[in-house]
A and B are shown apart, each in its own frame.
Chain A
Amino acid sequence: MLRPIFARRQAPASSDAPTDTDAILRQLAPDVRGWVFRYLGARAELDDVVQEALIELASALARFRGDSSVRTYARRIVTRVASRHVRTPAGQARVHLVPDAEYAPDPETIAMQRESLRRLYGALAELSETRRSAFVLCAIERLPHDEVAAIEQVSVETLRARLKRARAELADRLRDDPLLAPLFRGGGHE
């Protein structure tokens, strides 16, 4: 066996024992994943972003002062991480396969639905961060406006203004898309 030229050993942690923060993190983890998924859409790098969000959240929980609910605090951090990822070169929409459990008999329908969401998230990526977050949290997640305002740390009036502009901008981008136009005309995908 060759004598190692250099060996890097894991630095002993001052304390690696589970903490209350760890328990909160573990409890929030499934929600964090869902929040990231609905913010970014289905992407192959979903879990990369989830991992980044969990790391930031783990650090942030140690600084949590209790001036909001833990979930609101966590949402704020996760939204910020996901929003940051939208703008990175790796963050462009790359929709991957529909989960096995959702696979319907009709591949045409699945492909159509997947492409529709891809175009929605593509248009969302073009919005400003504030408008995008307003639409995701209010329209997709259907959170109450006062809760979203607390997450975004703005007034409800400001949030509503952002949401209105977000919807207007998305409609401008999507209503004439040949795939999505039937949705706006009153039809829908079969």
Chain B
Amino acid sequence: MSDSADDRGLDLLAAAARAAAPPPTPNLDQMVVHAALVARNRSRRSAVVAQSLAFAAVLSLAVGGPLVWLRAVGNDARDARSLRFELPAGDAVAVTPDADFSIDEASALTRTVTLRAGAMLFDVAPLEQRASFTVSTSHLRAEVRGTVFEVRVSAEGSQVHVYEGRVTARVAGRAHTVTTGQTFDSGTGMIDKWSSPLASIGRAAASRRARPAAPARAATNERRSDDARAGEAHEPRDDTHAMERDADGTESLAPTQGPTPLVARAVPSAPTRASETPSALLNAPSPEATDPSDGERWMQRADQLRVSGAAHEAVLAYERAAELLGPSRRTHAGYAAASLLVDRLAAPERASSALDRTLADRPGSPVESHALVLRARALADMGRDEEARLVARRYLARFPDGAARARMEQLASDAATR
């Protein structure tokens, strides 16, 4: 292929990358404040390390017993974003430098933590039947049974984010169940956005819990072949971002194992015959199995399946993503699934159910206008003409200048004349 063709392809891709914008975040100011504080505190890091050693000594003296001890886990002197340690019962904890907390009790049966400021991430060992693990702030109390979660306190309130498992958050006596991928705010309830300097640690810990133990030989061979394909040696890393809870060294996400093969498999190593895009994509390599606890990865998986023509599998993946994502993201997954069900799989009833479950066409949904169009089409396909007409009218009332105006006017007109 000529250099000009190569240049054209790369320039098109570069232009697409340049046009893409990062998703909005409400946390940028908070991130700036955190960065400024951490930068100032870096000079005091040696004092923090000494303090953590003192913490270990005090805790072991206070709780007593030769088996009760505190172990600093994976602390990297270069990582000023968190201090990590392990409680006597095996729970792993990470705290931000600005955290103000107390470990009120740390026995095998009862673990009680009070957090007054900052954030703490917990990777809680599975509890015995009578055991309890509670984190209290001035706004809420979080009760867990064995999970990976984070609690953050600010002047405005407290938030609980669950990376894996289930947490009961009690506010003013009312219990709220927070499951994997969800974030609960003591003042506003469930929220969509979550960003935290401890998030990478939490996700890594959740991945370890969710991923089943892979056969050691298969994982090793896979890693060797990808090392050979990548053509570079992977050295063990000292920088641990995951909670080192188990000794399974075959986990591909374990930081000491080197990069995973995901990217190498995403790009085919051998040329394929040029053909029209839709059929050629059937030859695209199968993407990596996704982390079952991550809704965004299920979305990615669904997109890849869609692009490769596997509509039925894509629908299943979108539906799984919808179960894991927050309210706003869920609407995208529902709409994406419903569009495949209407356009490719001729399943309008199931498409309507997908829109129902994810509230994709409710007022205020980020995909409301598109989902209304899809709803109207699905109803028309099911022969429910009067309902289709009503939805078309709702679209025209809500979006009088919408891109689908002509189509909805036609649908409303057709339905009326049948």
Contact = CB atoms under 8 A, between A and B. Distances in A.
Given A11-B44, A13-B40, A52-B81, A184 B103 contact: no
A186 B8 contact: yes
A46 B5 CA distance: 32
A7 B1 CA distance: 67
Given A94-B296, A179-B281, A184-B5, A115 B303 contact: yes
A78 interface: no
Contacts of A179: 277, 280-281, 284, 307
Given A4-B102, A8-B55, A176-B272, A89 B28 contact: no
Query: Is chain B's interface secondary structure helix, strand, loop, or mixed overall?
Result: helix
A178 B23 contact: no
Interface in B207-258: 230, 237, 239, 241, 252-255, 257-258
Contacts of B128: none
A140 to B, nearest CB: 5
A9 B340 CA distance: 54
B100 interface: yes
A168 B5 CA distance: 12
A15 B41 CA distance: 10
Given A38-B18, A92-B262, A178-B283, A62 B39 contact: yes
Contacts, number: 288
Contacts of A140: 14, 17-18
B284 A59 contact: no
Contact of A59 (B5, B39, B199, B258): B39
A60 to B, nearest CB: 9
B272 A8 contact: no
A123 B267 contact: yes
A89 B257 contact: yes
A152 B6 CA distance: 25
Contacts of B400: none
Contacts of B307: 111-112, 115, 179
A117 B17 contact: yes
A43 B8 CA distance: 26
A145 interface: no
B200 interface: yes
A134 interface: no
A114 interface: yes
Contact of B12 (A13, A46, A51, A183): A183
B241 A88 contact: yes
A55 B38 contact: yes
Interface in A6-63: 6-11, 13-16, 19, 21-22, 25-26, 29-30, 33-34, 36-38, 41-42, 44-48, 50-52, 54-55, 57-59, 62
Interface string B131-159: 00000000000000000000000000000
Nearest to B333: A97
A127 to B, nearest CB: 11
Contacts of A184: 1, 5-6, 8-9
A31 to B, nearest CB: 11
27 contacts: A3-B104, A19-B36, A22-B32, A25-B32, A38-B18, A44-B203, A45-B199, A47-B199, A48-B199, A50-B31, A55-B34, A87-B259, A89-B241, A95-B303, A103-B370, A105-B370, A108-B306, A122-B266, A125-B263, A139-B10, A171-B9, A175-B1, A175-B5, A177-B268, A178-B272, A178-B280, A180-B13
Interface of A: 2-11, 13-16, 19, 21-22, 25-26, 29-30, 33-34, 36-38, 41-42, 44-48, 50-52, 54-55, 57-59, 62, 87-97, 99-103, 105, 107-108, 111-123, 125-126, 135, 139-142, 167-168, 170-171, 173-186, 188-189
The 4 A-B pairs at the shortest CB distance, nearest first, are namely A184-B9, A54-B35, A58-B39, A4-B102
